[in-house]
Structure 1
């Protein structure tokens, strides 16, 4: 929806169409008459027709770009800069200087020759995919500009060209024909099977009254999935996701101020279950199996994800009844939190604690029910029959077969009485009690678990995730006002990626010993503390990886101790050499 805070985004898009496409003048510099069909055809040949997928894997984007545009005219480079600008201008997870530097790099112009205004704004983060998919996003922009130039030569004005943008984006998203705005066959074939965030970005830039400021298809799917009960069946017929979200917006106006944003904090909590996209497979799995385990190295967001899945499961069930929205907006925390139950398992936790055991009561030893009976009763007595989720953290710390005992039979035969070995209690697990376990694979390999136990759960591996590292780092950076740049965080991710690749390839380690993303994200906290203690300002050029800086502290207090523990059985000299080699890999990669 149109919001005054982002008015300049929409104005700049109109200027792009009007000044650049229609009048052929640059909006990035003071140059005029730069755009022609011949120029865009040449760019298309250099950047798209000359594309080599193998080269792309081996060369960094900017190096490949330099080779593609070797010998190109100034106008060709400047027109390409507009396609690259269109990719970056509306997002705020790229800094102004970074956006402007893209134009400087391709054109060779000094900063003073490049206008500041087009680079200053952004309506939100487009996510990691928008960056990693940069080639195809820009290739799409080039083809789009070519189409707009052709349509403008046939007499299309500003509003008509914006409708062409909308029609092309919707066709590529939903494969729906538009009789008025027919997408060129070559355009279709080239991009039809490509996921493009530009389609979401440009429809919003062009028509904020009909589209949301949401770049992620995943986020749109989550919004639809959460609020679909608000739409009558007949209203949802023959409508795409964007049209459904517009209908949802109209319904939500009853509870929200008109012009609300789906990223407002209390509303976002309903549909956006985590810092990154919801683990959809896990959510579907727990609905089907009612018991899942998330396993992997420490620091890979297993506990956080377990809470995320539990939240999603309860919210989704509650919001299936649209009459619950009033209650939810006023009391969302208790609705969810009262139905999530957590047990931190440890080496001394036993069957007697969990299921049933003999305890001293009034100086007599009597059989007593364990914690599981309490959770079963809470779920069974829920007047709304909503899901209750039991999170068992670190199941690797116990002998699960011994702790669970008859629970496995009760899980498979829900709503049936299973008699316990101690006390002859009738254990009956209701349908609405779900179980999520987390397991550190370092301590206990999945292969060590017997098949009878494994088949009672669906198992999901969790490992190091660069995308989640980026999300956490940006979130911490924003909350702490740390002042780290996109380049600082990019260097951290490069270093983390390289270190974990080296760990995976190390004979004494392997993939299951990768360092989790949450450990690397601690560098933001270290930098904030470092800055406060040393009274440093944000003017420091190398904020993270300078000598004896935050990266060194992170290595010394977090990463190295983990590696030493993992290599505990290795001879001391070999251990020191391995850790030093990994240290070199980590810090060298930060320079790339």
Structure 2
């Protein structure tokens, strides 16, 4: 879907195709005639053939690989790196410019204004897989250059369609009529997933595709709205992107604004329920096992995810009936009401509270059904799923809490006789259980096998992508206007701090600090600015006595101090000083 706020992205791609591919001039600087067969071959020689491995940063490797190259060759590679990152928002404008300057040696004054903010996050896979992503872009540039050489009258639209065709071949081995990809190019296109392929597919034809970099997200959208697709062989043969296009057409019948985005909250609560990007997702685990546990340090979005998962599993079943789609969107029905049951567990919560126990009722001792009975009976009387969220299971002994009903988690709809009141209970198939566990308080290794095998376990840790998303959402709602370069620097410092905590012999991975604690930087900056009456600050986060010092003093340092409780005072202070230096650098 074409986005009104991304027009500069589409225009920059047109400029790239027109000025760089057809006219062969740099769009990053005023340097003419940079794209030639020789400069392209030099890029492949320096970047692909002389690939530099090792633990150095990507930037350091590129600098070394192109150290002896001429400016024209450096600029061609800089265009490949520009095309890799120009359209995404999670690489700041400053960072995009710095990448060009690092490779070419050009100054700020020599750079042209061709670095848009972008329209969405590409995720960590896009960055961590950068070598292969840019290699993919270099082969695209070679293809487009070849087509421009073969046809002097080639149009920008033709080159955009060749870009689309190139990405479709990579994703689906599908060809566009009249835009055939040469066999020599096909041989060099990798078989594995690339975020850049999805990004370029979108910007080359935004009227046909979605601004989604993740293949996992695309599959989740298709799964979440599968009831809108015709159940025939022709539809089954369609690609994921073609199915999403059909879903968009169908949803357009039920929503007021047809120029919607799948990342709007009314849609993400249906499909984007998980923080994981790859592999076996929590919702699949929930559907398969009906009981899962999310575990990890505090502040890693476990409870938030449990709620999202609960919503997703209920809405997914409701929307599996195509007739409900119209009702859901036109009447804004809350189908989760009274179907999500959340219990905050604590040390005094017992079997008698949860399953059944004797209580004095009207001067008579009677067996009184607990919360689990109530939930099971509600689920049995309903056609939709019910979800029981057990928050902080580390605070109780789950085997004792469930008692003899524990085995019923696996043997659904099998009646279990209870030891109190001559009652029996069965757990229905449509009741799903999600537990959350803080690993600091209770490690996974301490849990007995009987408990472990009755649940699927999903680890949750610090997630820099989630932190970035929370910060930017807060930035929008609080109108703090944080600068991208400072936010990126802050997030990298949070990551470095956690890396250091994990390596400390006294701690380990379970003592990571969760991203939700770090996200408070936005609220702190907003308050700091208001209290001190500042209208504008040169340094928003990294200012002496400002937001970075405040969040360290009132939140992060006290958490670490508690982690290091057994250390002597001198050792603790030395550790805190070193960690503080990493966090505030």
Q: TM-score range by the shorter chain?
A: over 0.9
Q: 1:152 aligns with which of 141, 148, 153?
A: 148
| Secondary structure in 2 matching 1:460 | strand
TM-score by length of 1: 0.92
Q: 1:511 aligns with which of 498, 509, 512?
A: 509
Deviates more, 1:216-225 or 1:343-352: 216-225
Q: 2:88 aligns with which of 82, 88, 91?
A: 91
Alignment of 1:115-154 (within 5 A): 115-116=112-113, 118-120=114-116, 122-154=118-150
Deviates more, 1:172-181 or 1:136-145: 172-181
**1:569 aligns to what?**
566
| Secondary structure in 1 matching 2:342 | strand
| Secondary structure in 2 matching 1:143 | helix
Aligned mates of 1:51, 1:183 — CA distance in 2: 26
Cα pair 1:379 1:387 within 8 Å, conserved = yes
1:212-247 per-residue CA deviation (whole Å, 9 max, x = no partner) reads 222222221121111122111324132111111111
Q: Runs of 5+ in structure 1 lacking a partner?
A: none
Deviates more, 1:287-296 or 1:277-286: 277-286
Alignment of 1:38-49 (within 5 A): 38-49=38-49
**1:76 aligns to what?**
73
Cα pair 1:376 1:429 within 8 Å, conserved = yes
CA distance 1:538–1:425, change in 2 (3 Å) = farther
| Secondary structure in 2 matching 1:167 | helix
1:317-351 per-residue CA deviation (whole Å, 9 max, x = no partner) reads 11111111112114556212431110000111111
Shift of 1:505: 2.2
Aligned mates of 2:303, 2:84 — CA distance in 1: 35
**1:403 aligns to what?**
401
Q: 2:172 aligns with which of 167, 171, 174?
A: 174
Cα pair 2:274 2:282 within 8 Å, conserved = no
Aligned mates of 1:500, 1:220 — CA distance in 2: 31
Shift of 1:366: 1.6
Determine if the alignment matches structure 1 residue 100 to structure 2 residue 102.
Answer: no
Determine if the alignment matches structure 1 residue 525 to structure 2 residue 520.
Answer: no
**1:485 aligns to what?**
483
Shift of 1:398: 1.2
Shift of 1:538: 4.4
Aligned mates of 2:175, 2:516 — CA distance in 1: 45
Cα pair 2:122 2:195 within 8 Å, conserved = yes
Alignment of 1:278-289 (within 5 A): 280-289=280-289
Aligned mates of 1:161, 1:584 — CA distance in 2: 50
CA distance 1:510–1:268, change in 2 (3 Å) = closer
Determine if the alignment matches structure 1 residue 27 to structure 2 residue 24.
Answer: no
1:42-84 per-residue CA deviation (whole Å, 9 max, x = no partner) reads 1221222221232xx32x2332222222232222222222222
Aligned mates of 1:562, 1:574 — CA distance in 2: 16
Shift of 1:262: 2.2
CA distance 1:454–1:274, change in 2 (3 Å) = closer
Aligned mates of 1:295, 1:176 — CA distance in 2: 41
Cα pair 1:272 1:278 within 8 Å, conserved = no
Shift of 1:515: 1.6
Aligned mates of 1:187, 1:496 — CA distance in 2: 41
1:176-229 per-residue CA deviation (whole Å, 9 max, x = no partner) reads 456754545564454413432221121222222221222222221121111122
CA distance 1:191–1:549, change in 2 (3 Å) = farther
CA distance 1:175–1:313, change in 2 (3 Å) = same
CA RMSD of aligned residues (A): 2.4
CA distance 1:291–1:173, change in 2 (3 Å) = same
1:524-573 per-residue CA deviation (whole Å, 9 max, x = no partner) reads 221221122122344323x3233333222222222222223223333333
Deviates more, 1:43-52 or 1:179-188: 179-188
Cα pair 2:274 2:283 within 8 Å, conserved = no
Aligned mates of 2:436, 2:460 — CA distance in 1: 10
| Secondary structure in 2 matching 1:334 | coil
**1:236 aligns to what?**
235
CA distance 1:40–1:273, change in 2 (3 Å) = same
1:131-178 per-residue CA deviation (whole Å, 9 max, x = no partner) reads 333333222222211111111111144333222211211111123456
Cα pair 1:276 1:468 within 8 Å, conserved = no
Determine if the alignment matches structure 1 residue 580 to structure 2 residue 577.
Answer: yes
**1:299 aligns to what?**
299
Cα pair 1:483 1:538 within 8 Å, conserved = no
CA distance 1:364–1:227, change in 2 (3 Å) = same
**1:545 aligns to what?**
542
**1:9 aligns to what?**
9
CA distance 1:495–1:95, change in 2 (3 Å) = closer
Shift of 1:95: 3.6
**1:391 aligns to what?**
389
Q: Runs of 5+ in structure 2 lacking a partner?
A: none
Q: Which runs of 4+ in 1 moved over 6 A?
A: none
| Secondary structure in 2 matching 1:560 | helix
**2:360 aligns to what?**
360
Aligned mates of 1:65, 1:179 — CA distance in 2: 37
Cα pair 2:275 2:305 within 8 Å, conserved = no
CA distance 1:261–1:494, change in 2 (3 Å) = closer
Aligned residues: 581
**1:346 aligns to what?**
346
**2:417 aligns to what?**
419
Cα pair 2:502 2:509 within 8 Å, conserved = yes
Shift of 1:435: 0.5
Aligned mates of 2:46, 2:483 — CA distance in 1: 31
CA distance 1:512–1:101, change in 2 (3 Å) = closer
1:343-376 per-residue CA deviation (whole Å, 9 max, x = no partner) reads 0001111111101112221122221000111111
**1:209 aligns to what?**
207
Cα pair 1:416 1:428 within 8 Å, conserved = yes
Shift of 1:104: 3.4
Cα pair 1:275 1:472 within 8 Å, conserved = no
